[in-house]
Amino acid sequence: MVAEPLRPGQLRVERDGSRSRYAALLDGSVVGVAEFVEHGDVVAMTHTFVEPAQEGRGIGTILAREALADLRRRGLRVDPRCPFIAAHIARNPGSAELASG
Protein backbone atom coordinates (compact mmCIF):
# COMPACT_ATOMS: atom_id res chain seq x y z
CA MET A 1 0.00 0.00 0.00
CA VAL A 2 1.37 3.43 -0.93
CA ALA A 3 0.71 5.97 1.81
CA GLU A 4 -0.85 9.26 0.81
CA PRO A 5 1.57 12.18 1.18
CA LEU A 6 0.96 14.53 4.09
CA ARG A 7 -0.71 17.84 3.24
CA PRO A 8 0.98 21.03 4.48
CA GLY A 9 -0.17 21.81 8.02
CA GLN A 10 -1.83 18.41 8.43
CA LEU A 11 0.70 17.28 11.04
CA ARG A 12 1.50 19.16 14.24
CA VAL A 13 4.06 18.24 16.89
CA GLU A 14 3.38 19.24 20.50
CA ARG A 15 5.46 18.89 23.63
CA ASP A 16 3.52 17.19 26.44
CA GLY A 17 5.81 17.74 29.41
CA SER A 18 3.41 16.15 31.91
CA ARG A 19 3.71 12.87 30.00
CA SER A 20 7.40 13.33 29.08
CA ARG A 21 6.73 13.06 25.38
CA TYR A 22 6.31 14.87 22.11
CA ALA A 23 3.11 13.96 20.31
CA ALA A 24 2.48 14.02 16.54
CA LEU A 25 -1.11 15.04 15.81
CA LEU A 26 -2.56 14.23 12.40
CA ASP A 27 -5.69 16.28 11.80
CA GLY A 28 -5.79 16.70 15.60
CA SER A 29 -5.43 13.02 16.58
CA VAL A 30 -2.31 11.58 18.18
CA VAL A 31 -0.67 9.17 15.71
CA GLY A 32 2.84 9.08 17.12
CA VAL A 33 4.92 9.84 20.19
CA ALA A 34 8.57 10.42 21.03
CA GLU A 35 9.16 9.67 24.71
CA PHE A 36 11.95 11.11 26.82
CA VAL A 37 13.43 11.09 30.31
CA GLU A 38 14.99 14.26 31.70
CA HIS A 39 18.15 14.18 33.82
CA GLY A 40 19.03 17.82 34.50
CA ASP A 41 20.06 19.37 31.20
CA VAL A 42 20.31 15.97 29.47
CA VAL A 43 17.26 14.45 27.84
CA ALA A 44 17.33 10.75 27.00
CA MET A 45 15.15 10.05 23.97
CA THR A 46 13.96 6.58 24.89
CA HIS A 47 11.30 5.49 22.42
CA THR A 48 9.56 6.64 19.25
CA PHE A 49 6.36 5.13 17.99
CA VAL A 50 4.10 5.82 15.01
CA GLU A 51 0.77 4.04 14.58
CA PRO A 52 1.30 1.11 12.19
CA ALA A 53 -1.39 2.40 9.79
CA GLN A 54 0.52 5.71 9.49
CA GLU A 55 4.06 4.39 9.12
CA GLY A 56 6.16 5.33 6.10
CA ARG A 57 4.61 8.78 5.56
CA GLY A 58 7.44 10.73 7.14
CA ILE A 59 5.64 11.24 10.46
CA GLY A 60 8.48 9.74 12.51
CA THR A 61 10.96 12.01 10.74
CA ILE A 62 8.91 15.16 11.40
CA LEU A 63 8.41 14.10 15.03
CA ALA A 64 12.16 13.58 15.48
CA ARG A 65 13.02 16.86 13.72
CA GLU A 66 10.55 18.96 15.74
CA ALA A 67 11.37 17.31 19.08
CA LEU A 68 15.10 17.82 18.56
CA ALA A 69 14.58 21.44 17.44
CA ASP A 70 12.56 22.12 20.60
CA LEU A 71 15.21 20.54 22.83
CA ARG A 72 17.91 22.62 21.14
CA ARG A 73 15.85 25.79 21.68
CA ARG A 74 15.59 24.86 25.35
CA GLY A 75 19.38 24.48 25.54
CA LEU A 76 19.13 20.79 26.45
CA ARG A 77 21.51 18.02 25.37
CA VAL A 78 20.25 14.80 23.87
CA ASP A 79 21.15 11.23 24.73
CA PRO A 80 19.67 9.31 21.77
CA ARG A 81 18.80 5.94 23.32
CA CYS A 82 16.11 5.27 20.70
CA PRO A 83 17.74 3.84 17.55
CA PHE A 84 15.35 5.75 15.29
CA ILE A 85 16.34 9.09 16.88
CA ALA A 86 20.02 8.08 16.73
CA ALA A 87 19.65 7.31 13.01
CA HIS A 88 17.89 10.64 12.41
CA ILE A 89 20.73 12.52 14.12
CA ALA A 90 23.31 10.57 12.10
CA ARG A 91 21.49 11.60 8.89
CA ASN A 92 21.11 15.21 10.05
CA PRO A 93 24.33 16.29 11.74
CA GLY A 94 23.77 19.34 13.92
CA SER A 95 20.12 18.52 14.61
CA ALA A 96 20.89 17.91 18.28
CA GLU A 97 23.35 19.00 20.93
CA LEU A 98 24.61 15.60 21.99
CA ALA A 99 25.33 14.64 25.57
CA SER A 100 28.91 13.46 25.99
CA GLY A 101 30.15 10.56 28.08
Ligand X SMILES: CC(C)(COP(=O)(O)OP(=O)(O)OC[C@H]1O[C@@H](n2cnc3c(N)ncnc32)[C@H](O)[C@@H]1OP(=O)(O)O)[C@@H](O)C(=O)NCCC(=O)NCCS
Comparing CB distances to ligand X, the nearer of 28 and 75 is: 28
Comparing CB distances to ligand X, the nearer of 52 and 75 is: 52
101 Cβ neighbours under 8 A, 6+ residues apart: none
- Strand order, beta sheet including 77-80: 11-16, 21-26, 29-39, 42-50, 77-80
Comparing CB distances to ligand X, the nearer of 75 and 87 is: 87
Q: What is the DSSP letter of 57?
A: S
Residue numbers of the site for ligand X (CB under 6 A)? 47-50, 55-61, 82-84, 87
- The nearest distance, CB 63 to ligand X, in angstroms, is 7
